[in-house]
Structure 1
Amino acid sequence: MTRGFHRSARAALVAGLGLLAPALAATPAAAHFQELLPSADVLPDGGPVTLDLVFTHPMERGPVMDMKKPKRFGVKADGKVRDLTGTLTDAAQDGKGAWRATYDLKQPGAAVFFVEPQPYFEPAEGKYIIHYAKVVVDGFASGEGWDALVGLPVEIEPLARPTGLWTGNVFRGIVRKAGKPVPFAEVEVEYVNDGAVKAPNDAFVTQVIKADKDGVFTYAMPRAGWWGFAALVEADAPMAAPDGKKVPVELGALMWVKATDMVPAAAQAR
């Protein structure tokens, strides 16, 4: 009777796991990315640029997470930091909070836009997420000032100019926390998918690379469009979850970079 009971229990367990496996396999391994995407990475004649702020899974085109109004949104240009939080307007997507702003580039040089969002509690992972995102827009195609640091708690310092990049170019950066390089930091990479790309399986959704001992990472962008680099580190102190329990805080240093296809001169003339 005992052996028979154990055989029956094992059979039930195997059957249960068999039913569970497809459900687990169907669960996407999606990474959260704080998007901060401008209408262009280079403005040859200066002028207005529009920036969209959305908290989502870019490669899988959603879902969109509810983004409260950021604690801080601004730009560093000409060596000065300007607060632009008051310029944000509601641009909700799929019924979830998202934001938009417009800024006029009147002088040559890089404008480094950045955002400090409100902490987002992710119950599925039992932690808060704060992703400090930034993106560089080059005014008047100057090619200057692109490596300026904002001074965020966690930040990527670009080692390759993040504007005017061809598809296939390599982007390199240093992961910094409190200004110091983070050895062997993990960096997640995702493509902002417009629906034209279908991942063969979940392993292709989020690329994962590690920085070296000096906090330097390298990645070659294989397709035209916007690419997000998210260096993830844990905060020094936990925060209280909605139920009052202390939970870890994931800090993300995000940087957005655009790759552009080479177009033959004959095609441009048409």
Structure 2
Amino acid sequence: MKRLLTATVATLALAMPASAHFQLIFNPEANPTAPAEMPLHLIFWHPFDNGHAMDMGTPEELFYVFRGERIDISDSLTPMTFTGAHNSAAGFEATLPVRRNGDYTVVLVPEPYFEESEGIYIQQLTTVYFNKGGIPTDWNEPVGLPTEFVPLNRPYNVIAGSTFSAQLLSNGEPVPGAEIEVEYLAAEPDMETHTAGAPSVGPMPGGAIVAITDENGVFTFGVPRAGFWGFAALGTGPETEHDGTDLSQDAVIWIRAYDME
């Protein structure tokens, strides 16, 4: 896998090896049917292989967008310890207040994480989507992050066996030719015990699953099975330095796929 650090949107210049870090915002129910205070788990992890978990610092921002309004929920953050198959690490719990019908786009801007093995900081700007009542509102609108994915399919009810597409943006402009790493949440976290469940599948042979954006910054992925799928564009953000050290500012999106019944 390559982690790409960009000085500009058009220049993907510096590459170095990395492992499959993925920032996660998790609740198992993507389509709540009733008003609720939905708990969220914020975990920095290797979810495909239930691998090493990384300590998170206090997030810089945590908010959701509902019908065009941005609502801060950082005051709901509570530190917690997440335990995977190999180690425990610092994460956070938070609460999403779901009231009215429509789309809830949850956005996390984490504190940059220093990856000692690579000698760089990593900051994964992450979005996940919830919908109440089956009424779509603004799931396909950008939220204004330095780099982000804009879904072209509803991200909370993708049909397993179909495809998912999204457009990658940096500073609001499409990013052509970017490598998109694909991740599957093979071991869903237990919301009560803060532990990883048993993995349902193992990682694929041959390394990371990747797709490449086209000239309009769009990629398409055939979703082979139900569950939570993540997509990361590494180093596509405009910020390339933190505390005098290289920074990979990444866009991450999570979607929910279902089998047809």
Amino acid at match of 1:196: S
Deviation at 1:184, TM superposition (A): 0.9
Q: Which residue of 1 aligns with 2:29?
A: 40
Correspondence 1:197 to 2:186: no
Unaligned runs of 5+ in 1: 1-27, 264-270
Report Cα offsets for 1:173-202 as digits up to 9, x if no partner: 000001111111111010011212123535
Deviation at 1:123, TM superposition (A): 1.5
Q: Which residue of 2 aligns with 1:251?
A: 249
- Paired with 2:149 and 2:236, the residues of 1 have a C-alpha distance of 15
- Paired with 1:147 and 1:61, the residues of 2 have a C-alpha distance of 30
Q: Which residue of 2 aligns with 1:169?
A: 162
Q: Output aligned runs, 1:54-203, within 5 Å.
A: 54-94=43-83, 95-194=88-187, 195-199=199-203, 201-203=205-207
Bigger-Rg structure (1/2): 1
- Paired with 1:180 and 1:114, the residues of 2 have a C-alpha distance of 19
- Paired with 1:235 and 1:65, the residues of 2 have a C-alpha distance of 21
- Paired with 2:137 and 2:25, the residues of 1 have a C-alpha distance of 21
Tell me the TM-score normalized by structure 1.
0.80
- Paired with 1:229 and 1:173, the residues of 2 have a C-alpha distance of 10
Q: Give the secondary structure class of the aligned counterpart of 2:48.
A: coil
Question: Which ranges of 4 or more aligned residues in structure 1 deviate by more than 6 Å?
Answer: none
Q: Which residue of 1 aligns with 2:227?
A: 225
Deviation at 1:64, TM superposition (A): 0.5
Deviation at 1:166, TM superposition (A): 1.6
Q: Give the secondary structure class of the aligned counterpart of 1:91.
A: strand
Identity of aligned residues (%): 33
Amino acid at match of 1:111: Y
Q: Flag the 1:237–1:69 CA change in 2: closer, same or farther, 3 A.
A: closer
Report Cα offsets for 1:221-260 as digits up to 9, x if no partner: 111110001112255454356xxxx432111111100111
Relative contact order higher in (CA < 8 Å, ≥ 6 apart): 2
Unaligned runs of 5+ in 2: 1-16, 188-198
Deviation at 1:150, TM superposition (A): 1.3
- Paired with 2:226 and 2:22, the residues of 1 have a C-alpha distance of 19
CA RMSD of aligned residues (A): 1.8
Q: Which residue of 2 aligns with 1:211?
A: 213
Report Cα offsets for 1:124-156 as digits up to 9, x if no partner: 112110000001100112122211221111110
Q: Which residue of 2 aligns with 1:268?
A: none
Amino acid at match of 1:249: L
| 8 A contact 1:39–1:49 mirrored in 2 | no
- Paired with 2:148 and 2:115, the residues of 1 have a C-alpha distance of 22
Tell me the TM-score normalized by structure 2.
0.83
Amino acid at match of 1:105: V
Amino acid at match of 1:67: M
Number of residue equivalences? 230
